[in-house]
Chains A and B, each alone.
Chain A
C-alpha cells in the first residue's frame, strides 16, 4: 500500500533554524530519500511558507481567490513523504526517521485506491528539470461533510478531480496527484515531550481536513489557482494553492 506522511510544523519554529542545524536537517532528509537505504521511498515534496499560499473557494457561485492559507492554524503543513509499505507498521517505521529538528509532528494517511501513484522507477529531482515552478493544490473539506457524502457523491468528487487532472495533463501541466483515505484512518506521531508519541487520528485539530492533493507545473500561481477553481472541493470546501520548492519523484 501507498502512504503519505504529512509533515506539520509550528508557525513560530518554521524559519528560525541556525544555518548549521539547517544543513544537518537537509542531510537527514537526503538520506531518507535514498532508495538504496529505503526501498519504500517513492517521493517527497517541501512546500513554501504558508503566507505565500492562495486559497480558492466558491462564494455565491463565483470563485473567490484570497491570499494566505485557508485557515489560521497553529500547525501548518510544510511537506510530505510518499512511501510504499506492506502495512501501516512499515510506514510508521519510515515516518519515525523523518527528522524532528523543528517539526511538530507527522500524520500518516494511506493513499486511496484508484488514484495514480506517480511513475515508478528511480525517483528524480523534479524541480530542477524545468523553468516553471510546481504548485500543490491542497484539497480541504470539512471531515463531517466528507463522512456524510454517499458513495455516488464520493465518486463524483473523484471524477471531477480526474477531469481536472486530465485537462491539466493535456496542457502539459500535470505532474501527479493523490487522493487520501478518510482521516479515520490517520495515525499521527507527535513530537512533544516524548518524541514520536503515537496517537490515533489526524495531527491538526481542524474542522477541514486534507482529502488529497495535486501537483501542477505551470507558469504562475494564478494559472494553478484557475485549475483549483475547477475542483469540486473549491465548491464545497476550499483548495489551498502553494508552491512546492523541492520535489523528488
Chain B
C-alpha cells in the first residue's frame, strides 16, 4: 500500500466526475482521465505527488481534451458537447476552484447520474462499478455471470441512454432527494447481495463486490452528512459483511446462520455497525427498513451462541418492518423467527398464511424454510416433499447441493 496508488485510487473517480461535468461525455471524460493517469504516474514518481492530485489530473485531462479539439480529430463527434460546455471559459479552469465542495458536488452528480431511475438496475450497476468503483469489465462480468462483452454493451447502452434521454448531470433538489437517495441505496444493496450470492456460487470469486458496495455507501455517508438512511444501510452491510468468512464451508456450500462458526465473525465490523445503529436511532427514532434490518442482524451478531439469540425481540423488529414495507419475504422471516421464539408450529402457522402468495410459491427460500420447520415439527413425509419441490426452484449449484444433502439426510433418517 503506497501513497501513489492510494492517491490515484481516490483521485480517479473525482477527476472523472469533474471531467464528465465539463465534457458531458462519459467516453471522452474516461479517455481523458485515463490519459492523465498514465501521465501522472511517472511525473509524480519523479517530482512527488502534488498537493491537489485531483486538480492536477483534471488539468491534464483538460489539456488532453483541448489537444484533441485542436487537432480536429474528435471535433465532429463531440462538437456539440464541447461547444455547450465551453471548456476554456469555464470557471473551474483555475485549480484553486477544485476545492472540497466543488469536488463533492461533482461526485454526487456522478452518483445520481449513474443511479438514475431512467436506467435499468442492471445498467446502473454496470455503469457504477465501471466508472465510480473503477472495476474492470472482466471482474464485473464474472461476478454477474455475464460475458465481458455483454457487460461492456450494458455500459455502452447506459451511457448512450444518458446522452439520448438528456439525463441531467445534477444532484436532485431537496424535494426529490429522499426518493432518489432511496433508489441509490436500493441498488447498492443489490450490489452487496450479489456478492452474497456469488460467494456461494459454483466457484468462489475474488471480486470485492461486497467491499465495493460498502465503500460506495461510506462515500454517500460522507457526501450527504445528516442523512440517516445511508448510515443505516452502512450499518446493515457491515453487520452482514462481518459474517462473510463464516458463510460458506470449504466446498463453497452455504452455512446457515445458526451453524456458522461465530469466532470467524469480524468483531471490528460488528462494533462499528453497532455504533452506527445507535447513532441512527438517535437521529431518527422512526426507524426505516435498513435500520430495522441492521438491528435484527445486530441481535444475531450479539449472541455468543445461537441459543443466546433474543428471538422475541427479532420477531418484534420484523413486525415493525412488516408495517414499513409491503414485502412477503419479511413475513417469511418473521415466521422463521417466530418458530425459534414460540416453536415450529407457530412458525408454520404464519408461513401458511403466505402459501397463496404467487411470489412465495416460486420463492425457493419459502419452501426450504417450510421444509426445515416441517422436519422440526415431526412431519418427515411432508418435509421431504417440500425439499424436493424447493430443489426444482433452485438455480444456484451450491444451494442445490445443500438441498440434496438435506434430502439424503432426511431419507436416511426416515428409512431407519
Contacts and interface: CB of A to CB of B under 8 A. Distances in A.
A142 B268 CA distance: 20
Interface in A87-133: 87-89, 110, 112-114
Interface stretch (B30-38, B149-157, B175-183, B213-221): B213-221
B215 A148 contact: yes
A3 B1 CA distance: 29
A184 B221 contact: yes
The bracket for how many chain A residues form the interface is 20 to 34
A16 interface: no
Interface stretch (A39-47, A150-158, A214-222): A150-158
A185 B10 contact: no
B10 A236 contact: no
B362 interface: no
A12 B270 CA distance: 40
Nearest to B218: A147
Interface string B212-232: 000100110110011000010
A27 interface: no
Contacts, number: 79
Contact of A88 (B6, B10, B231, B278): B278
Interface string B277-292: 0110011000000000
Contacts of B283: 200
Given A151-B211, A184-B234, A207-B100, A236 B276 contact: no
B1 A88 contact: no
- Indicate the member of B6, B10, B100, B226 with the most A CB atoms within 10 Å: B6
A145 B6 contact: yes
Nearest to A89: B278
A201 B225 contact: yes
A15 interface: no
A142 B53 CA distance: 13
A143 interface: yes
Contacts of B7: 145
A236 B1 CA distance: 8
Interface string B71-90: 00000000000000000000
Contacts of A168: none
B211 A142 contact: no
A147 B226 contact: no
Given A88-B278, A187-B279, A200-B226, A110 B100 contact: no
Contact of A150 (B10, B211, B225, B279): B211
A232 interface: yes
A112 B222 contact: no
A150 B133 CA distance: 12
Contacts of B267: 113-114
A156 B5 CA distance: 15
Interface of B: 1-3, 6-7, 9-10, 48, 100, 208, 211, 215, 218-219, 221-222, 225-226, 231, 234, 267-268, 270-272, 274-276, 278-279, 282-283
Given A110-B271, A149-B1, A181-B271, 17 more contacts: A59-B48, A110-B272, A110-B275, A112-B268, A113-B268, A114-B268, A143-B222, A145-B7, A148-B10, A149-B6, A182-B218, A182-B272, A185-B276, A235-B1, A235-B2, A235-B3, A236-B6
